[in-house]
C-alpha cells in the first residue's frame, strides 16, 4: 500500500504520517524511517541550529521503535548556491519556461547527489512498512530538480502498491500555496516539486491533504469524470 501525505510547513503532516505508518506496521512489520534531510555537523559553517532542533523533535516523537535510514548521510554536497549563481549569470535562464543553459546544468550535475532510480533501489531494499519524509528534500538533491518521475512511480507501485506485505508512506511538501519564490532556483524547485507531487498522487492508494493538524482525504474518492485522467 502507498499512502501520500501532502501539506505545508508546520501543517502536522509528518506527525500524522508517523501515526499512519505505525498502524500499518502492526500488520506489516518492521517499521523503517527514511530520513531525507541532511544536517551538517555542529561546527560546520553550514550547520543549521533551527533544522537541528526540528530533527530532534522528530526523533523524540518517533522513539526507538524505528529503523532509521539516512538517505544522504555525509555524502550530501549542497548545490543550490552553485546552480543559482549559474542561472543568474545566464541570460537564457531569465524565464523558468526556457531551457536551462549548459553552464547551469553542468554546475547542477557536478553537485547532484541522487537520482530517482537510486531512491527506488534503496526503498526496494526495505521490508515491512517504510516512511519517507520528505520527498521535497529528495527533489532538492536531483540534478536540475529533474528525474524520471513516472519510472520511479512504476517501480514503487510494483514493490509497495496494493494489499501486499509492504507499505510505503510518503510525506511531501505543498509549495504552490506559498509566496512566489524570489530566486530562479526557488521558482524551478516549486514547479518541479508540484509536478512530482501530481505523479505521486496518481500512484498512491490513498492521498491525504493536511492543514492545521487535520487530515482531509483526497483519494480514493468519487471524482467527476473530468478529474480522473
In the chain, what are the domains? Answer: 2-76+115-227 (3.40.50.300), 82-112 (no CATH)
Question: Greater confidence, 27 or 91?
Answer: 27
Contacts of 69 (CB under 8 A, 6+ apart): 32, 33, 34, 35, 122, 126
pLDDT recorded at residue 44:
83
pLDDT at 98 over 90: no
**What number is the average pLDDT over the span 110-134?**
87
CB 166 within 8 Å of CB 155: no
Q: Which of 47-56, 99-108, 143-152 has the highest mean pLDDT?
A: 143-152
pTM metric for this prediction:
0.80
pLDDT band, residue 103 (cuts 50/70/90)? very low
Instruction: State how far the alpha carbon of 207 is from the alpha carbons of 31, 34, 97, 201, 218, in Å.
Output: 20, 19, 29, 6, 5
pLDDT band, residue 48 (cuts 50/70/90)? confident
Q: How far apart are CA 64 and CA 83, in angstroms?
A: 38
E-strand spans in 55-181? 67-70, 129-133, 167-173
Q: What is the pLDDT of residues 55-78, one digit of tens each?
A: 888 888 878 889 998 887 644 444
Cα R_g (the chain), whole angstroms = 18
pLDDT band, residue 227 (cuts 50/70/90)? low
Amino acid at each position: 500500500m502507498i499512502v501520500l501525505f501532502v501539506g505545508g510547513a508546520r501543517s502536522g503532516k509528518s506527525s500524522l504520517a508517523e501515526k499512519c505508518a505505525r498502524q500499518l506496521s502492526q500488520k506489516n512489520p518492521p517499521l523503517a524511517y527514511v530520513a531525507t534531510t541532511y544536517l551538517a555537523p555542529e561546527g560546520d559553517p553550514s550547520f543549521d541550529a533551527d533544522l537541528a532542533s526540528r530533527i530532534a523533535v522528530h526523533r523524540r516523537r518517533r522513539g526507538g521503535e524505528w529503523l532509521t535510514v539516512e538517505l544522504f548521510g555525509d555524502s550530501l554536497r549542497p548545490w543550490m548556491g552553485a546552480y543559482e549563481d549559474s542561472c543568474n549569470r545566464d541570460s537564457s535562464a531569465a524565464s523558468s519556461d526556457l531551457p536551462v543553459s549548459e553552464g547551469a546544468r553542468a554546475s547542477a550535475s557536478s553537485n547532484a547527489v541522487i537520482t530517482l532510480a537510486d531512491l527506488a533501489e534503496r526503498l526496494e531494499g526495505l521490508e515491512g512498512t517504510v516512511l519517507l519524509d520528505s520527498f521535497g528534500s529528495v527533489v532538492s538533491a536531483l540534478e536540475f530538480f529533474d528525474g524520471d518521475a513516472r519510472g520511479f512511480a512504476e517501480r514503487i507501485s510494483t514493490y509497495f502498491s496494493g494489499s501486499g506485505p509492504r507499505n510505503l508512506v510518503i510525506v511531501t511538501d505543498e509549495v504552490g500555496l506559498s509566496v512566489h519564490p524570489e530566486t530562479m532556483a526557488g521558482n524551478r524547485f516549486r514547479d518541479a516539486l508540484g509536478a512530482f507531487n501530481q505523479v505521486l498522487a496518481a500512484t498512491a492508494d490513498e492521498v491525504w491533504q493536511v492543514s492545521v493538524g487535520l487530515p482531509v482525504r483526497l483519494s480514493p474518492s468519487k471524482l467527476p469524470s473530468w478529474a480522473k485522467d
